[in-house]
Chains A and B, each alone.
Chain A
Amino acid sequence: RKEVEQDPGPFNVPEGATVAFNCTYSNSASQSFFWYRQDCRKEPKLLMSVYSSGNEDGRFTAQLNRASQYISLLIRDSKLSDSATYLCVVNIATDKLIFGTGTRLQVFP
Protein backbone atom coordinates (compact mmCIF):
# COMPACT_ATOMS: atom_id res chain seq x y z
CA ARG A 1 0.00 0.00 0.00
CA LYS A 2 1.32 3.46 -0.90
CA GLU A 3 2.12 5.73 2.04
CA VAL A 4 -0.02 8.53 0.62
CA GLU A 5 -2.82 7.77 -1.84
CA GLN A 6 -4.77 10.18 -3.99
CA ASP A 7 -7.25 9.88 -6.84
CA PRO A 8 -5.14 10.94 -9.86
CA GLY A 9 -8.09 12.53 -11.66
CA PRO A 10 -8.25 14.49 -13.84
CA PHE A 11 -11.08 16.48 -12.38
CA ASN A 12 -12.55 18.65 -15.14
CA VAL A 13 -14.77 21.37 -13.69
CA PRO A 14 -16.26 24.64 -15.00
CA GLU A 15 -15.24 27.99 -13.60
CA GLY A 16 -17.14 28.76 -10.44
CA ALA A 17 -17.58 25.12 -9.44
CA THR A 18 -16.70 23.66 -6.07
CA VAL A 19 -14.37 20.67 -6.17
CA ALA A 20 -13.03 18.40 -3.44
CA PHE A 21 -9.95 16.18 -3.38
CA ASN A 22 -9.30 13.39 -0.94
CA CYS A 23 -6.17 11.73 0.31
CA THR A 24 -5.43 8.85 2.67
CA TYR A 25 -2.18 8.06 4.45
CA SER A 26 -1.01 4.79 5.91
CA ASN A 27 1.45 5.77 8.65
CA SER A 28 -0.41 6.50 11.88
CA ALA A 29 2.76 8.14 13.23
CA SER A 30 2.46 10.91 10.65
CA GLN A 31 2.85 14.22 12.37
CA SER A 32 1.72 16.94 10.05
CA PHE A 33 -0.03 17.36 6.76
CA PHE A 34 0.03 19.73 3.82
CA TRP A 35 -1.22 20.43 0.36
CA TYR A 36 1.28 21.44 -2.28
CA ARG A 37 0.43 22.63 -5.77
CA GLN A 38 2.39 21.77 -8.91
CA ASP A 39 1.73 23.49 -12.21
CA CYS A 40 2.52 21.64 -15.43
CA ARG A 41 6.30 21.26 -15.87
CA LYS A 42 6.97 23.41 -12.82
CA GLU A 43 8.16 22.83 -9.28
CA PRO A 44 5.83 22.02 -6.35
CA LYS A 45 4.89 24.91 -4.05
CA LEU A 46 3.32 24.84 -0.60
CA LEU A 47 -0.38 25.70 -0.82
CA MET A 48 -1.43 25.27 2.80
CA SER A 49 -0.97 23.29 5.98
CA VAL A 50 -3.78 21.07 7.26
CA TYR A 51 -4.78 21.32 10.91
CA SER A 52 -6.89 18.92 12.96
CA SER A 53 -9.59 21.51 13.47
CA GLY A 54 -9.77 22.25 9.75
CA ASN A 55 -8.53 25.48 8.25
CA GLU A 56 -9.41 27.89 5.51
CA ASP A 57 -7.37 30.15 3.27
CA GLY A 58 -9.60 32.20 1.01
CA ARG A 59 -11.38 29.81 -1.35
CA PHE A 60 -9.44 26.81 -0.05
CA THR A 61 -10.47 24.67 2.92
CA ALA A 62 -8.43 21.77 4.27
CA GLN A 63 -9.65 19.10 6.67
CA LEU A 64 -7.89 16.33 8.56
CA ASN A 65 -9.40 13.23 10.12
CA ARG A 66 -6.66 11.48 12.12
CA ALA A 67 -8.88 8.57 13.13
CA SER A 68 -9.59 7.70 9.50
CA GLN A 69 -6.15 8.88 8.29
CA TYR A 70 -7.85 11.04 5.72
CA ILE A 71 -7.14 14.55 4.42
CA SER A 72 -9.26 16.68 2.11
CA LEU A 73 -9.00 19.90 0.14
CA LEU A 74 -12.04 21.85 -0.97
CA ILE A 75 -11.79 24.60 -3.58
CA ARG A 76 -14.74 26.94 -3.92
CA ASP A 77 -15.51 29.20 -6.89
CA SER A 78 -12.85 27.56 -9.08
CA LYS A 79 -10.76 29.85 -11.29
CA LEU A 80 -8.96 28.98 -14.50
CA SER A 81 -5.72 29.66 -12.63
CA ASP A 82 -6.51 26.84 -10.18
CA SER A 83 -5.71 24.32 -12.93
CA ALA A 84 -2.77 22.34 -11.59
CA THR A 85 -1.88 19.12 -9.81
CA TYR A 86 -2.58 19.11 -6.08
CA LEU A 87 -0.18 17.02 -4.01
CA CYS A 88 -1.16 15.64 -0.63
CA VAL A 89 1.91 15.64 1.62
CA VAL A 90 2.57 13.96 4.94
CA ASN A 91 5.43 14.78 7.31
CA ILE A 92 6.81 11.59 8.84
CA ALA A 93 9.97 12.85 10.53
CA THR A 94 11.44 16.27 11.18
CA ASP A 95 12.29 17.04 7.60
CA LYS A 96 11.00 14.08 5.64
CA LEU A 97 7.96 14.73 3.46
CA ILE A 98 6.07 11.96 1.72
CA PHE A 99 4.27 13.17 -1.39
CA GLY A 100 1.18 11.64 -2.96
CA THR A 101 1.18 11.28 -6.73
CA GLY A 102 -1.22 14.18 -7.01
CA THR A 103 -4.72 14.93 -8.26
CA ARG A 104 -4.93 16.84 -11.50
CA LEU A 105 -7.49 19.64 -11.73
CA GLN A 106 -8.52 21.25 -15.01
CA VAL A 107 -10.86 24.23 -14.77
CA PHE A 108 -12.55 25.16 -18.06
CA PRO A 109 -14.33 28.39 -19.05
Chain B
Amino acid sequence: DTAVSQTPKYLVTQMGNDKSIKCEQNLGHDTMYWYKQDSKKFLKIMFSYNNKELIINETVPNRFSPKSPDKAHLNLHINSLELGDSAVYFCASSQVPKNYEQYFGPGTRLTVT
Protein backbone atom coordinates (compact mmCIF):
# COMPACT_ATOMS: atom_id res chain seq x y z
CA ASP B 1 0.00 0.00 0.00
CA THR B 2 2.56 2.54 -1.13
CA ALA B 3 1.35 6.08 -0.46
CA VAL B 4 3.69 7.96 -2.80
CA SER B 5 5.45 5.92 -5.45
CA GLN B 6 8.07 6.90 -7.99
CA THR B 7 9.50 5.13 -11.00
CA PRO B 8 12.19 4.36 -11.75
CA LYS B 9 14.12 4.01 -8.49
CA TYR B 10 17.46 4.25 -10.26
CA LEU B 11 18.25 5.93 -13.55
CA VAL B 12 21.67 5.95 -15.19
CA THR B 13 21.95 7.80 -18.44
CA GLN B 14 24.35 9.74 -20.60
CA MET B 15 24.68 13.49 -21.00
CA GLY B 16 22.39 14.94 -23.60
CA ASN B 17 19.65 12.34 -23.19
CA ASP B 18 16.02 13.10 -22.28
CA LYS B 19 14.41 11.18 -19.41
CA SER B 20 11.22 11.14 -17.37
CA ILE B 21 10.43 10.26 -13.78
CA LYS B 22 6.88 9.34 -12.80
CA CYS B 23 5.16 9.94 -9.48
CA GLU B 24 1.80 8.77 -8.18
CA GLN B 25 0.11 9.25 -4.82
CA ASN B 26 -2.90 7.34 -3.55
CA LEU B 27 -3.50 9.56 -0.51
CA GLY B 28 -6.11 11.77 -2.18
CA HIS B 29 -3.89 14.82 -1.64
CA ASP B 30 -4.37 18.02 -3.63
CA THR B 31 -0.76 19.19 -3.71
CA MET B 32 2.28 17.48 -5.16
CA TYR B 33 5.94 18.49 -5.28
CA TRP B 34 9.28 17.72 -6.84
CA TYR B 35 12.43 18.13 -4.76
CA LYS B 36 16.08 17.67 -5.66
CA GLN B 37 18.60 16.39 -3.10
CA ASP B 38 22.17 16.89 -4.24
CA SER B 39 25.37 15.13 -3.18
CA LYS B 40 25.67 17.45 -0.17
CA LYS B 41 22.23 16.21 0.96
CA PHE B 42 20.68 19.64 0.43
CA LEU B 43 16.96 19.11 -0.26
CA LYS B 44 15.48 21.89 -2.37
CA ILE B 45 12.02 22.34 -3.77
CA MET B 46 11.72 22.55 -7.54
CA PHE B 47 7.99 22.63 -8.28
CA SER B 48 4.64 22.30 -6.60
CA TYR B 49 1.24 21.67 -8.15
CA ASN B 50 -2.16 22.08 -6.57
CA ASN B 51 -5.01 20.32 -8.36
CA LYS B 52 -2.97 20.14 -11.55
CA GLU B 53 -2.09 23.85 -11.40
CA LEU B 54 1.54 25.00 -11.08
CA ILE B 55 1.99 26.91 -7.80
CA ILE B 56 5.73 26.99 -7.14
CA ASN B 57 8.36 27.10 -9.83
CA GLU B 58 11.74 27.71 -8.28
CA THR B 59 14.75 28.81 -10.27
CA VAL B 60 15.02 25.61 -12.23
CA PRO B 61 16.42 25.39 -15.79
CA ASN B 62 13.65 25.12 -18.34
CA ARG B 63 15.10 21.76 -19.35
CA PHE B 64 12.98 20.52 -16.45
CA SER B 65 9.28 20.33 -17.22
CA PRO B 66 6.74 18.97 -14.77
CA LYS B 67 3.41 17.61 -15.98
CA SER B 68 0.36 16.80 -13.92
CA PRO B 69 -2.24 14.83 -15.89
CA ASP B 70 -4.44 14.60 -12.78
CA LYS B 71 -4.08 15.44 -9.12
CA ALA B 72 -2.75 11.98 -8.27
CA HIS B 73 0.15 12.15 -10.72
CA LEU B 74 3.07 14.52 -11.18
CA ASN B 75 5.74 13.56 -13.67
CA LEU B 76 9.09 15.23 -14.31
CA HIS B 77 10.65 15.34 -17.73
CA ILE B 78 14.27 16.41 -18.13
CA ASN B 79 15.73 17.36 -21.50
CA SER B 80 19.39 17.43 -22.49
CA LEU B 81 20.64 15.95 -19.24
CA GLU B 82 23.83 17.42 -17.75
CA LEU B 83 26.33 16.03 -15.24
CA GLY B 84 25.06 18.49 -12.63
CA ASP B 85 21.60 16.97 -12.82
CA SER B 86 22.90 13.90 -10.97
CA ALA B 87 20.99 13.82 -7.68
CA VAL B 88 18.14 12.11 -5.90
CA TYR B 89 14.75 13.44 -6.98
CA PHE B 90 11.92 13.13 -4.48
CA CYS B 91 8.25 13.48 -5.20
CA ALA B 92 5.99 14.46 -2.30
CA SER B 93 2.35 15.22 -1.63
CA SER B 94 0.31 17.02 1.00
CA GLN B 95 -3.20 18.15 1.75
CA VAL B 96 -4.45 21.63 2.63
CA PRO B 97 -4.41 22.90 5.34
CA LYS B 98 -1.56 20.68 6.56
CA ASN B 99 0.77 21.35 3.65
CA TYR B 100 3.71 21.28 6.04
CA GLU B 101 3.13 17.55 6.50
CA GLN B 102 4.53 16.26 3.26
CA TYR B 103 4.69 12.60 2.36
CA PHE B 104 7.70 11.75 0.26
CA GLY B 105 8.20 9.03 -2.28
CA PRO B 106 11.25 6.74 -2.04
CA GLY B 107 13.28 8.89 -4.43
CA THR B 108 14.78 8.39 -7.87
CA ARG B 109 18.57 8.29 -7.92
CA LEU B 110 19.63 9.86 -11.22
CA THR B 111 23.22 9.46 -12.40
CA VAL B 112 24.31 11.28 -15.53
CA THR B 113 27.56 10.04 -17.05
Contacts and interface: CB of A to CB of B under 8 A. Distances in A.
Contacts of B33: 95
Q: Interface residue tally of chain A, by bracket?
A: 20 to 34
Contacts of B41: 85, 101-102
Nearest to B35: A99
Contacts of B45: 96-98
Contact of B56 (A44, A46, A95, A99): A95
A57 interface: no
A34 interface: yes
Contacts of A101: 40-42
Interface in A18-50: 32, 34, 42-46, 49
B106 A99 contact: no
Nearest to B58: A96
A61 interface: no
B31 interface: yes
A12 B94 CA distance: 33
B90 A43 contact: yes
Those 4 A-B pairs whose CB atoms lie nearest each other, nearest first: A43-B104, A95-B99, A99-B43, A91-B100
Interface of B: 31, 33, 40-45, 48, 50, 55-56, 90, 94, 96, 99-102, 104-107
24 contacts: A34-B100, A42-B106, A42-B107, A43-B90, A43-B104, A43-B107, A44-B43, A44-B104, A46-B100, A46-B101, A46-B102, A49-B100, A91-B100, A94-B96, A95-B31, A95-B48, A95-B56, A96-B56, A97-B100, A97-B102, A98-B45, A99-B42, A101-B42, A102-B41
